[in-house]
């Protein structure tokens, strides 16, 4: 089965599930909707909702190379105690869930008893729950600090070490990487026979130690030209599913990094991740932000796309990160339990599976990006940068991604705030040299949502060039007679 835009096939699948989805007009009011009927367990991609939850086990906050690390020493909060608390919270909230654990280079080789015992405990979770254990090169930023050749060596030896730790011929189905260059993604597919990678962080810009803005936010096969660009044919195809690392609020994602507005911190990564929600705002308000983002995909997004996916990176240091970073004295475990429990209540068909399982399921049913078409609509939750009077629509396919923003309360003119063309050639940065990081791996061309360049000023759809309008019309002719009047 292939992925076709709003096709009869999709609607047939949805009808067969005997499930009623909410309408677009109620996106922001999920809590008032009736509880949906139970669905059978997923036996395919379409007609189902998926959640993936990844965690990172490390020694230092940012391990940029095998021998170099930045930020605090987190070894005091990476022990069997934290690992057990983390995993037991998930199992209690969602019995049968399977998650993905990624070890950094240092965490896999640290000889201290606490790390040895923690590794053994996590290996036991693979045997008990079916969790996936894998490797993370460079703590999300491998290409920012390492040559492509070195990253390949790290991948090869890191994956070998994971297999040694688990034993019994174990081999991960996926790799957790934050950002990973097209050459390294191709290496994973062709040399390591791994075909799923969390290889982009959607909308990441002016945050942490690397920038990778410009991709689409749902699974795609990357181009050999640039990891943010979807492949457009056999000549640039890489047989690996490129996954986002954190599902974020589409309105918050417009911010480059963070800014203070009326005394509140607006952050681009606000979504389902705990740092910007539970740990920053507290459990009650943080959960509201997390559910607003979750519902965008599991309600309206499910209706539009025929399946839905939410993903979260919950680094293990956050279990007791308050001991190092403060976080208002909170550790987020109560919020995690409530988030997972409510997802199961609200969307009982949802399945929490490993990153590798989800990526392989997508790959089994979608063989290319030819008919790729993701559409999303999100109205603000009213929490910080998710302004309640704004509505954003996203359109993502192999030719471009397009975002249109409007004030739905005032019914003003919709404005294009992002038009990233994938039909144009793209090129990744060169390897870092002389120890100087290569920070910005973003793909920005015509208009970018972050508004960081003079050319990023929002424009009405009809003010785009004739060529640009023609490209959009080939995919979405209805836009020129409906929302874009």
CATH of residue 411's domain is: 3.30.1120.110
Whole-angstrom distance, CA of residue 284 vs CA of residue 74: 27
Domain boundary pick from 310, 340, 365 = 365
Check whether residue 382 and residue 262 sit in a common domain.
Answer: no
pTM: 0.90
Check whether residue 234 and residue 182 sit in a common domain.
Answer: yes
Backbone angles phi, psi at 335, to 5 degrees: -65, -40
Q: How much is the pLDDT for 261?
A: 96
Check whether residue 87 and residue 120 sit in a common domain.
Answer: yes
Q: Quick check: 97 and 351 in contact, CB under 8 A?
A: no
Parent domain of 206: 48-365
Judged on CB neighbours under 10 Å (0-12, 13-18, 19+), 38 is exposed
Whole-angstrom distance, CA of residue 80 vs CA of residue 113: 10
Check whether residue 254 and residue 121 sit in a common domain.
Answer: yes
pLDDT tens for the chain, residues 1 to 485? 344 433 434 443 343 333 333 333 333 332 222 223 333 345 799 999 999 999 999 999 999 999 999 999 999 999 999 999 999 999 999 999 999 999 999 999 999 999 999 999 999 999 999 999 999 999 899 999 999 999 999 999 999 999 999 999 999 999 999 999 999 999 999 999 999 999 999 999 999 889 999 999 999 999 999 999 999 999 999 999 999 999 999 999 999 999 999 999 999 999 999 999 999 999 999 999 999 999 999 999 999 999 999 999 999 999 999 999 999 899 999 999 999 999 999 999 999 999 999 999 999 999 999 999 999 999 999 999 999 999 999 999 999 999 999 999 998 999 999 999 999 999 999 999 988 899 999 999 999 999 999 999 999 999 999 999 999 999 999 999 875 44
Structure tokens that stand for 94 in this block = 């969602």
Domain count, the chain: 2
Query: Does residue 475 sit within a domain?
Result: yes
Q: Which residue has the tokens 């990160």?
A: 321
Check whether residue 337 and residue 389 sit in a common domain.
Answer: no
Check whether residue 342 and residue 386 sit in a common domain.
Answer: no
Check whether residue 304 and residue 404 sit in a common domain.
Answer: no
Please state whether 464 falls in left (phi above 0), alpha (psi between -120 and 50) or beta: beta
Q: How much is the pLDDT for 28?
A: 33
Q: How much is the pLDDT for 411?
A: 87
Q: How much is the pLDDT for 11?
A: 40
Whole-angstrom distance, CA of residue 201 vs CA of residue 443: 12
Neighbour count for residue 81 (Cβ, 10 Å)? 15
Query: Does residue 403 sit within a domain?
Result: yes
Query: Does residue 149 sit within a domain?
Result: yes
Neighbour count for residue 284 (Cβ, 10 Å)? 10
Check whether residue 341 and residue 380 sit in a common domain.
Answer: no
Q: How much is the pLDDT for 42?
A: 55
Check whether residue 389 and residue 322 sit in a common domain.
Answer: no
**For residue 76, what are the contacts with CB-CB under 8 A and spacing of at least 6?**
323, 324
Residue 86's CATH number: 3.20.20.510
Query: Does residue 18 sit within a domain?
Result: no
Whole-angstrom distance, CA of residue 200 vs CA of residue 240: 12
Check whether residue 318 and residue 409 sit in a common domain.
Answer: no
Judged on CB neighbours under 10 Å (0-12, 13-18, 19+), 75 is middle
Whole-angstrom distance, CA of residue 464 vs CA of residue 414: 13
Q: Quick check: 255 and 385 in contact, CB under 8 A?
A: yes
Q: How much is the pLDDT for 24?
A: 35
Q: How much is the pLDDT for 17?
A: 39
In this structure, the dihedral spanned by the alpha carbons of residues 40, 44, 45 and 46, taken in order and rounded to 10 degrees, is -60
Query: Does residue 9 sit within a domain?
Result: no
**For residue 13, what are the contacts with CB-CB under 8 A and spacing of at least 6?**
46, 47, 306
Domain boundary pick from 339, 365, 391 = 365
Q: What is the bridge-based pairing of β-strands 49-57 and 308-313?
A: parallel
Query: Does residue 8 sit within a domain?
Result: no
Query: Does residue 33 sit within a domain?
Result: no
Check whether residue 293 and residue 314 sit in a common domain.
Answer: yes
Domain boundary pick from 314, 343, 365 = 365
Check whether residue 125 and residue 52 sit in a common domain.
Answer: yes
């Amino acid at each position: 089965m292939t992925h076709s835009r709003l096709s009869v096939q999709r609607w047939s699948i949805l009808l067969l599930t005997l499930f009623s989805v909410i309408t677009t007009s109620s996106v922001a009011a999920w809590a008032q909707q009736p509880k949906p009927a139970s669905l059978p367990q997923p036996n395919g991609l379409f007609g189902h909702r998926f959640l993936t939850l990844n965690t990172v086990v490390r020694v230092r906050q940012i391990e940029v190379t095998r021998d170099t690390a930045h930020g605090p020493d987190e070894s005091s909060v990476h022990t069997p105690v934290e690992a057990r608390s983390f995993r037991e919270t998930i199992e209690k909230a969602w019995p049968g869930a399977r998650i993905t654990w990624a070890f950094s280079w240092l965490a896999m080789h640290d000889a201290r008893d606490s790390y040895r015992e923690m590794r053994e405990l996590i290996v036991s979770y693979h045997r008990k729950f079916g969790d996936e254990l894998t490797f993370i090169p460079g703590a999300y930023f491998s290409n920012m600090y390492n040559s492509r050749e070195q990253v390949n060596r790290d991948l090869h030896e890191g994956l070998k070490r994971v297999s040694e730790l688990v034993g019994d011929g174990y081999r991960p189905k996926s790799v957790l990487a934050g950002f990973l260059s097209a050459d390294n993604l191709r290496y994973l597919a062709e040399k390591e026979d791994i075909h799923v990678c969390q290889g982009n962080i959607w909308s990441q810009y002016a945050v942490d130690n690397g920038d990778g803005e410009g991709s689409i936010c749902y699974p795609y096969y990357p181009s050999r030209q640039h990891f943010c660009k979807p492949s457009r044919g056999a000549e640039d195809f890489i047989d690996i599913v490129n996954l986002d690392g954190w599902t974020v609020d589409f309105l918050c994602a417009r911010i480059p990094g963070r800014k203070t507005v009326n005394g509140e911190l607006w952050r681009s990564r606000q979504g389902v991740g705990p740092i910007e929600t539970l740990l920053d705002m507290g459990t009650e308000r943080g959960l509201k932000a997390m559910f607003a983002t979750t519902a965008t995909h599991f309600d309206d997004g499910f209706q539009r796309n025929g399946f839905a996916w939410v993903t979260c990176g919950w680094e293990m240091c956050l279990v007791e990160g308050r001991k190092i970073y403060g976080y208002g004295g909170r550790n987020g475990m109560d919020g995690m339990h409530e988030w997972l429990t409510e997802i199961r209540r609200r969307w009982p068909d949802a399945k929490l599976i490993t990153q590798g399982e989800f990526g392989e399921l997508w790959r089994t049913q979608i063989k290319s990006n030819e008919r790729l078409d993701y559409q999303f609509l999100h109205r603000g939750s009213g929490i910080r940068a998710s302004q309640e009077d704004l509505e954003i629509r996203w359109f993502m396919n192999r030719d471009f991604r397009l975002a249109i923003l409007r004030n739905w309360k005032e019914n003003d003119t919709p404005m294009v705030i992002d038009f990233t063309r994938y039909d144009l050639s793209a090129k990744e940065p060169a390897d870092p040299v002389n120890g100087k990081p290569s920070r910005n791996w973003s793909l920005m061309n015509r208009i970018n949502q972050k508004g960081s360049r003079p050319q990023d000023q929002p424009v009405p759809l009809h003010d785009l060039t004739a060529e640009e309008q023609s490209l959009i019309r080939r995919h979405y002719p209805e836009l020129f007679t409906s929302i874009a009047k």
